[in-house]
Chains A and B, each alone.
Chain A
Amino acid sequence: AAGVIQSPRHLIKEKRETATLKCYPIPRHDTVYWYQQGPGQDPQFLISFYEKMQSDKGSIPDRFSAQQFSDYHSELNMSSLELGDSALYFCASSYASGAEQYFGPGTRLTVT
């Protein structure tokens, strides 16, 4: 069965650089979620989209922005990167808001 695809899987950036993470949801899933997991922490919700519209927002820094495109893939844009942004970033998708979420393999971002 098709799963959530994330790219890249690993990313190394320097402070103050920008990064773009991509997420391709499971086909026919209309809701995409982004989570951030710091070292030794549980995943924290950042932002979600339903039918290409932002549906909910968590503790996402103003330096981060995201969108969902017409083909339902989503991108998380991160600017002015800080050391504290080093984390595992997960994308998840579901066929409806509130339904079971399926997680991608994650993008491991390291900021040096």
Chain B
Amino acid sequence: GIQVEQSPPDLILQEGANSTLRCNFSDSVNNLQWFHQNPWGQLINLFYIPSGTKQNGRLSATTVATERYSLLYISSSQTTDSGVYFCAVDSGNTPLVFGKGTRLSVIA
């Protein structure tokens, strides 16, 4: 099945800093989603982005499907950005396969 690798596994930032999270996948994808899991365990949809670039406030994402990677950019990070960021993909009418996540800690 499709493999998903996320990097870095852990990231500590000072409040106000910017960061880039990466997601590599091993096959062509039909769906790619980025999620933020907050400390209470809720999975929050950030982006549905099988290709192209999207922006939502301080967050943006880019997927280069031909090169099989996606990037999530967080600018001017805030303490509320802390949590685990998951990339998940499906290769076409298949369930989502999640990466191991990037654990982000933003320090005031």
Mark A residues whose CB is within 8 Å of B: 33, 35, 42-45, 48, 56, 58, 88, 90, 92, 97-103, 105-106, 108
Contacts and interface: CB of A to CB of B under 8 A. Distances in A.
Given A33-B95, A100-B31, A103-B42, 17 more contacts: A33-B96, A35-B96, A42-B100, A43-B86, A43-B96, A44-B98, A45-B96, A56-B94, A92-B96, A98-B90, A98-B93, A100-B33, A100-B48, A101-B31, A102-B45, A103-B45, A108-B41
A46 B55 CA distance: 31
Contact of A103 (B43, B99, B100): B43
Given A98-B30, A100-B31, A100-B48, A43 B98 contact: yes
Nearest to B84: A42
A97 B31 CA distance: 10
A97 B95 CA distance: 9
Interface of B: 30-31, 33, 35, 41-43, 45, 48, 86, 88, 90, 92-101
A43 B98 CA distance: 7
Contacts of A97: 93
Contacts, number: 50
22 contacts: A42-B86, A42-B101, A45-B96, A45-B97, A58-B95, A90-B43, A98-B31, A98-B90, A98-B92, A98-B94, A101-B31, A101-B33, A101-B96, A103-B35, A103-B42, A103-B45, A105-B41, A105-B42, A106-B41, A106-B42, A106-B43, A108-B41
A48 B95 contact: yes
A45 B94 CA distance: 10
A66 to B, nearest CB: 13
A107 to B, nearest CB: 10
Nearest to B43: A103
B13 to A, nearest CB: 21
A88 B41 contact: yes
A10 to B, nearest CB: 11
A9 to B, nearest CB: 10
Contacts of B95: 33, 45, 48, 56, 58
